[in-house]
C-alpha cells in the first residue's frame, strides 16, 4: 500500500536506475543479461541458499545498509559493540545450549577454541543477565552446516544465555577463511570483476537482551590473510580479535576472550 516513504523510495530508485541506464548507454542485450542474472539467483535460492543476498553482498550493499542502519555504533572503543552484516547463513531456532557446552559435533580435526567474556551495558558498565548469544560458524572445510551433507543438522550453531554476572563461555572452532559460494550469479560477478571470493575467518553473533538493541555482528581473526580484503566488505577494526594459545585444557588449543557492549533503546 502506498505510503510517503514507499513513494519517495521508489521515485528515487527509478530515477537512479534510469540515470544508470542513460549514463552507461545500456543496450537491450546487456539489460537482458542482468535480468537473467536476477532470475538465475531466484532459481538457485531456497532455505539453504540465498543467492539474492549474496549478489547484494559482493556489490557491497548489505555492508552499506548495515552502516546506515546502525550508524550510532561508530567503531570506537567506548561505544556499543559494532555491528556487521548478517550474511546468508543464519538459521532461526539454533539449539539452546548450556554454558560451557560446545557448538561442535563430529569434527575432530578443527582448532577447538574456548570463547568467553561478559555482556555489559555500555553506558553503566553493568553486566546484563539473560542476554542471549546466537552463534554460528563454519567447519574446517569452510562450510556451514546447511551447505554440508556430512554435518549434523544445526552443527556449529548455538544459543547461550548469560547468568547474573553477564558472563558467557562455550567451546567452538577457530574458523578458517573460505570462499563464498561462487557457482551462481554472485560468483559470476566476482569473476567478471577479477575479484576473489574469499571471506576472512569469522564467527557470527546475534546478541539480544530484554530492553536492549540487538547486535548483529561478526568477529574476525587478525591472523587471516584476507583480513584487509573481505569479498563482502564486512570487516571493521573493533571486530578484529586475537586467538590466544590455551594451556592445560584437553578440550581446546585456543582461547578467545571477547566482551559485548549493548545499548538500551
CB of 97 to ligand DHB, least distance (A): 21
CB of 89 to Fe ion, least distance (A): 5
88 binds, among ligand DHB, Fe ion, none (CB under 5 to 8 A by kind): ligand DHB
CB of 85 to Fe ion, least distance (A): 9
57 binds, among ligand DHB, Fe ion, none (CB under 5 to 8 A by kind): ligand DHB
Binding site for Fe ion (CB under 5 A): 87
Task: State the Rg of the chain over Cα.
Answer: 20
Residues of span 143-202 touching ligand DHB by CB under 6 A: 180, 199
User: Which C-beta is closer to ligand DHB: that of 26 or that of 44?
Assistant: 44
DSSP state at residue 45: -
- Selected binder of ligand DHB within 73, 85, 207, 262 (CB under 6 A): 85
**Are the C-beta atoms of residues 96 and 134 closer than 8 Å to each other?**
no
- Selected binder of ligand DHB within 41, 49, 51, 57 (CB under 6 A): 57
97 binds, among ligand DHB, Fe ion, none (CB under 5 to 8 A by kind): none
How many chain residues are in contact with ligand DHB, going by CB under 6 A?
A: 10
Q: CA 82 to CA 7: how far, in whole Å? A: 32
b/e per residue, 150-159, with b = 16+ CB within 10 A?
ebeebbbbbb
CB of 6 to Fe ion, least distance (A): 32
Q: What's the Cα-to-Cα distance from 187 to each of 83, 92, 175, 190, 200, rounded to whole Å?
A: 25, 26, 22, 5, 17
User: Which C-beta is closer to ligand DHB: that of 54 or that of 128?
Assistant: 54
Can residue 134 be called a binding residue for ligand DHB (CB under 6 A)?
A: no
**Are the C-beta atoms of residues 31 and 21 closer than 8 Å to each other?**
yes
Q: CA 145 to CA 80: how far, in whole Å? A: 30
Q: CA 179 to CA 170: how far, in whole Å? A: 26
User: Which C-beta is closer to ligand DHB: that of 120 or that of 177?
Assistant: 177
CB of 52 to ligand DHB, least distance (A): 10
Residues of span 196-255 touching ligand DHB by CB under 6 A: 199, 232
Phi, psi of 69 (to 5 degrees): -65, -40
b/e per residue, 50-71, with b = 16+ CB within 10 A?
bbbbbbbbbeeebbeebbeebe
Q: What is the contact surface with ligand DHB in residues (CB under 6 A)?
A: 54, 57, 62, 85, 87-89, 180, 199, 232
Amino acid at each position: 500500500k502506498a505510503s510517503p516513504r514507499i513513494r519517495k523510495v521508489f521515485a528515487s530508485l527509478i530515477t537512479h536506475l534510469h540515470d544508470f541506464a542513460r549514463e552507461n548507454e545500456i543496450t537491450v542485450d546487456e539489460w537482458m543479461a542482468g535480468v537473467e542474472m536476477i532470475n538465475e539467483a531466484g532459481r538457485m535460492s531456497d532455505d539453504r541458499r540465498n543467492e539474492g543476498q549474496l549478489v547484494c553482498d559482493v556489490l557491497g550493499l548489505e555492508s552499506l545498509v548495515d552502516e546506515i542502519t546502525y550508524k550510532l555504533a561508530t567503531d570506537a572503543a567506548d561505544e556499543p559493540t559494532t555491528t556487521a552484516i548478517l550474511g546468508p547463513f543464519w538459521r532461526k531456532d539454533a539449539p539452546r545450549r548450556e554454558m560451557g557446552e560446545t557448538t561442535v559435533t563430529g569434527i575432530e580435526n578443527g582448532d577447538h577454541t574456548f570463547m568467553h567474556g561478559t555482556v555489559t551495558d555500555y553506558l553503566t558498565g553493568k553486566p546484563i543477565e539473560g542476554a542471549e548469544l546466537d552463534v554460528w560458524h563454519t567447519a574446517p572445510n569452510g562450510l556451514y552446516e546447511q551447505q554440508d551433507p556430512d554435518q549434523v543438522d544445526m552443527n556449529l550453531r548455538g544459543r547461550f544465555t548469560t547468568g547474573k554476572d553477564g558472563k558467557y563461555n562455550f567451546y567452538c572452532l577457530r574458523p578458517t577463511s573460505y570462499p563464498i559460494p561462487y557457482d551462481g550469479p554472485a560468483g559470476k560477478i566476482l569473476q567478471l570483476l577479477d575479484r576473489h571470493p574469499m571471506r576472512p575467518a569469522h564467527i557470527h553473533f546475534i546478541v539480544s537482551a530484554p530492553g536492549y538493541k540487538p547486535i548483529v555482528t561478526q568477529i574476525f581473526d587478525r591472523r587471516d590473510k584476507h583480513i584487509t580484503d573481505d569479498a563482502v566488505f564486512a570487516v571493521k577494526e573493533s571486530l578484529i580479535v586475537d586467538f590466544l594459545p590455551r594451556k592445560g585444557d584437553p578440550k581446546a588449543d585456543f582461547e578467545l576472550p571477547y566482551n559485548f557492549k549493548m545499548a538500551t533503546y
